[in-house]
Copies of this chain bind each other. A is one copy, B any other.
Amino acid sequence: MTTTEMAATQASEPTRNGVDTATLFATLDAVKQAPEAAQFQFRAHNQWVSGTHNRTTITGYFGVGEERTHERTFVFDADHPAVLVSQDHGPTPTEFVLHALASCLTAGLATIAAARRVKLTEVRSTVTGDIDLNGILGLNPDVRNGYQQITVRFTIKGDAPAETLRELVEQSRARSAVYDIITNQVPVTIEVNTP
């Protein structure tokens, strides 16, 4: 979306696809004036339960210049299934990565469609990740630990030609935080405190 597109669209904007586009464009303008407002820090707090079962709490984050909290505290369990010698109290960590990718691309798609005046009626996706556990099991040094490939299959309906709907997905991909995290490299630091 270019600045010209935004200016042209901003004049008389209703909510579209559940997106308050007037506020969206106003927010973009505000961030343009004060780019430091866009510095965010997200956080997750995890506590081990037993075996591969553990629980994450998500509540606070930093953004737009101050500490904030979500409307409510979100809690998620993760585990491995019985076939991996565990008890299936939650999805595997790797399945949460697929969820994160689907939700990021879909949120972006709905927002970009609203900004471009496309009304969506349905967006579904299935994300598959192929992984060879010989990697994490330490049985084959030539096999990576993570997914070998991930495939996202969207089904989309809306009031625009198929080509336009595909362009919306492409623009969402080009602006997706999670797509970038997965397809590129993020530096990760691990610190250990042993009180």
Contact = CB atoms under 8 A, between A and B. Distances in A.
A contact patch SS = mixed
A18 B49 CA distance: 9
Interface in A117-142: 120, 122-140
A131 B42 contact: yes
Contact of A74 (B39, B71, B91, B105): B91
B48 A145 contact: no
B191 A136 contact: no
Interface residues of A, number: 132
A54 interface: yes
The winner among A78, A84, A103 for most chain B CB atoms within 10 A is: A103
Given A180-B144, A188-B150, A47 B101 contact: no
Nearest to A163: B194
Q: How many chain copies does the complex carry?
A: 2
Contact of A127 (B43, B83, B84): B43
Interface in A31-80: 31-32, 35, 38-54, 56, 58, 61, 63-64, 68, 70-72, 74, 76, 78-80
Interface in A159-195: 162, 165-166, 169, 173, 175-195
A17 interface: yes
A14 interface: no
Nearest to A193: B155
Contacts of A20: 51, 85
Interface in A67-121: 68, 70-72, 74, 76, 78-85, 88, 90-111, 114, 120
15 contacts: A18-B49, A38-B133, A41-B129, A43-B129, A48-B106, A48-B124, A54-B107, A58-B95, A78-B99, A96-B97, A152-B190, A156-B192, A156-B194, A183-B185, A184-B185
Query: Lowest 8 CB-CB distances: which A-B pairs, in order?
Result: A18-B50, A18-B51, A146-B180, A78-B103, A46-B102, A48-B123, A93-B104, A52-B107
